[in-house]
């Protein structure tokens, strides 16, 4: 029997393929690895015999060790392993915060009202808040502040109310009034609309913005205003204000020297300052306290109280109505 290589050569020539176009690859002299064929160009259009024309029965493969034959399976193209992308957590850049800005509507910061007693004697303090509104922190009860002492009271956002200050606890005492709806939205004034008991001024950022430091009792409290009983200092404890029912004034002669600096009638709005940026308001009781800018600009006609007064931001009518509705909405803490 012819060797396998001879039989393959015979097969190649039977197909009409020249030896130059065929290559038999051997391994160790035996065991065929494969046959590489190149497609020949046609020669003068000579017809070639196809595989279907061969007599395969003449070929004997019985002595071939097929387990040593490799048929040159196509080598797979190298593949690129999948790439795993590592995505870092996004970096969140906070929005810039401007000075005095309320961030995301956060109104948790309190307003502090500091009170210093320079009147020379112990005084009474009592607290009112708007019905339905938040109370002073700690819900303080009527108390006394000693001479030369300072005390602080904190209020939360949403607060609107007042602190009554006088020689005795009286509904017509001088009042520190205000509201607070977050930094940049505070409001403060001194009110003598109900009556007068002691002189008070308040400052913001070191500047006195409201109140009158004059001792009005030095000129006597007479009709139409109503004096109360005399105090230990030989002066009335309270002088009740007859102009409380006159929304647009004018103030009575007793209260007129403080018009525009403290509220002396319900719409005496030059006494108010709003849009306060700070969260600390310092109030001082007594004639030794610095006068407010409104009081320093007091040279004007009482019948036209706004003519020469400094320009201040007036309170809203809604807030004004709440704070000066003495007989309807007042609620003592």
Q: How far apart are CA 150 and CA 284, in angstroms?
A: 9
Over range 82-86, report the average pLDDT. 49
Asked whether residue 108 carries a pLDDT value surpassing 80, the answer given is no
DSSP state, residue 322: H
At residue 114 the predicted structure's pLDDT band, cuts being 50, 70 and 90, is very high
Alpha carbon 247 to chain centroid, angstroms = 38
Burial profile 57-74: b = 16 or more Cβ within 10 angstroms, e = fewer? eeeeeeeeeeeeeeeeee
Asked whether residue 12 carries a pLDDT value surpassing 50, the answer given is no
Asked whether residue 5 carries a pLDDT value surpassing 90, the answer given is no
- How far, CA to CA in Å, does 193 sit from each of 258, 266, 323? 11, 6, 10
Asked whether residue 193 carries a pLDDT value surpassing 50, the answer given is yes
Over range 159-165, report the average pLDDT. 97
Mean pLDDT over all residues of the chain? 74
Q: Is the pTM of this model over 0.85?
A: no
At residue 319 the predicted structure's pLDDT band, cuts being 50, 70 and 90, is very low
Residue 197: per-residue pLDDT: 97
Q: How far apart are CA 191 and CA 315, in angstroms?
A: 13
Residue 16: per-residue pLDDT: 52
pLDDT in tens, 205-231: 999 999 999 999 998 899 899 998 888
DSSP assignment string, 270-306: GG-EEEE--SEEEEEESTTSPPPHHHHT--S-TTSTT
At residue 59 the predicted structure's pLDDT band, cuts being 50, 70 and 90, is low
DSSP state, residue 307: S
How many residues does this entry show for the chain?
A: 333
Those residues with Cβ within 8 angstroms of residue 285's Cβ, 6 or more apart along the chain or in another chain: 115, 116, 117, 118, 119, 123, 165, 198, 199, 200
Residue 208: per-residue pLDDT: 96
The span from the first CA to the last CA of the chain, in angstroms, equals 124
Over range 245-259, report the average pLDDT. 96
Percent of the chain at pLDDT > 70 equals 57
Q: How far apart are CA 299 and CA 287, in angstroms?
A: 19
Residue 293: per-residue pLDDT: 85
Residue 186 near residue 276, CB atoms below 8 Å: yes
At residue 249 the predicted structure's pLDDT band, cuts being 50, 70 and 90, is very high
At residue 147 the predicted structure's pLDDT band, cuts being 50, 70 and 90, is very high
Residue 77 near residue 18, CB atoms below 8 Å: no
Q: How far apart are CA 200 and CA 196, in angstroms?
A: 10
């Amino acid at each position: 029997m012819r060797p396998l290589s001879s039989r393959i050569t015979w097969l190649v020539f039977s197909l009409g393929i020249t030896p130059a176009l065929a290559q038999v690859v051997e391994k160790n002299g035996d065991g065929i690895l494969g046959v590489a064929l190149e497609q020949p160009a046609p020669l003068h259009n000579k017809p070639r015999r196809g595989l279907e024309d061969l007599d395969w029965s003449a070929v004997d493969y019985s002595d071939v060790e097929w387990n040593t034959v490799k048929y040159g399976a196509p080598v797979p193209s190298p593949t690129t392993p999948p790439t795993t992308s590592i995505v870092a957590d996004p970096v969140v850049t906070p929005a810039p915060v401007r000075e005095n800005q309320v961030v995301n509507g956060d109104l948790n910061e309190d307003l502090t009202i500091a009170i210093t007693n320079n009147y020379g004697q112990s005084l009474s303090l009592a607290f009112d808040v708007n019905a339905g509104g938040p109370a002073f922190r700690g819900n303080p009860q009527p108390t006394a502040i000693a001479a030369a002492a300072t005390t602080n009271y904190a209020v939360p956002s949403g607060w609107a109310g007042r602190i009554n200050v006088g020689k005795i606890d009286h509904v017509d005492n001088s009042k520190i009034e205000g509201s607070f709806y977050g930094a940049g939205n505070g409001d403060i004034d001194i009110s003598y609309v109900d009556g007068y008991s002691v002189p008070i001024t308040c400052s913001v950022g070191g500047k006195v913005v409201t109140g009158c430091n004059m001792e009005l009792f030095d000129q006597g409290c007479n009709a139409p205003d109503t004096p109360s009983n005399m105090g230990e200092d030989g002066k009335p404890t309270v002088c009740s204000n007859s102009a409380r029912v006159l929304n647009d004034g004018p103030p009575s002669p007793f209260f007129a020297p403080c018009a525009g600096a403290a509220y002396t009638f319900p719409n005496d709005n030059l006494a108010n300052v709003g849009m306060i940026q700070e969260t600390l308001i310092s109030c001082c009781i007594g004639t030794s306290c610095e006068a407010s800018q409104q009081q320093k600009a007091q040279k004007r006609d009482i019948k036209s109280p706004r003519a020469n007064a400094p320009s201040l931001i007036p309170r809203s009518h809604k807030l004004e109505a709440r704070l000066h509705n003495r007989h309807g909405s007042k609620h003592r803490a």
